[in-house]
Structure 1
Amino acid sequence: MEIVDEANRLARVDVAGVQRTVNVGLMDAEGDPIEPGDWVLIHVGFAISKVDEAEAAQTLLMLRGMGQDFETELAELRESLIE
């Protein structure tokens, strides 16, 4: 969504409706800096790869297909204090 701390390479992202701050600095090291509007794969608070919008939509569809397990994960993410 937006870079919130350029010096520390932190960005505000939306994960299925839940907003979090993640580190995008690893993508800089790969020579592919993140910009607002990019779709990324996030793992433990770090953007680890860029994906295209179609791949992101397909992955989200698959996750939603998991039903209650996915909904439980989202609820736990919403309730967490991680920023």
Structure 2
Amino acid sequence: MCLAIPGQIIAIVDDANRLAQVDVAGVRRTVNVGLLDADGGGVVQGDWVLIHVGFAISKVDEAEAAATLKLLRGMGAEYEQELEELKASVIE
């Protein structure tokens, strides 16, 4: 199962390629944030985003991120599998 999972932007690590480091439940990974540039806003450190297959696909506020994480944690094994897949992924 593939889920969109909330993560918080820690830093923009490669502005030219639109890569940012995000924290997802304690797992830090690099994701592409370029899809969020279309609305003219982009992302900055501290923003919350929904991440799917290595791409930030939507900005969300902190309350929505917390509610989504709570719901995902309630899914049990599927959530844990998604975190394991995130740990194994690498974008450089």
The answer, yes or no, to whether TM exceeds 0.5 is yes
Secondary structure, aligned partner of 1:36:
coil
One-letter amino acid matched to 2:26: G
Whether 2:62 is the aligned partner of 1:82: answer no
Partner of 1:39: 48
Q: 1:81 to 1:33 in 2, by over 3 A?
A: closer
Secondary structure, aligned partner of 1:56:
helix
> TM-score by structure 2 length?
0.80
Partner of 1:28: 37
One-letter amino acid matched to 1:28: D
Larger Rg: 1
69-78 vs 18-27, which moves further: 69-78
1:38-78 alpha-carbon deviations (Å, 9 max, x no partner): 00011111111110000000000001111233223323332
1:8-61 alpha-carbon deviations (Å, 9 max, x no partner): 110000111111111111111121210000000111111111100000000000
Structure 1 runs of 4+ aligned residues shifted over 3 Å read none
Percent of pairs with identical residues: 70
Q: Whose helix fraction is larger, Structure 1's or Structure 2's?
A: 1
* Uncovered stretches (5+) of structure 2, i.e. residues with no partner: 1-9
Q: 1:77 to 1:27 in 2, by over 3 A?
A: closer
What is the alpha-carbon distance in structure 2 between the residues aligned to residue 45 and residue 3 of structure 1?
15
> TM-score by structure 1 length?
0.87
The total of aligned residue pairs comes to 82
Whether 2:68 is the aligned partner of 1:59: answer yes
* Uncovered stretches (5+) of structure 1, i.e. residues with no partner: none
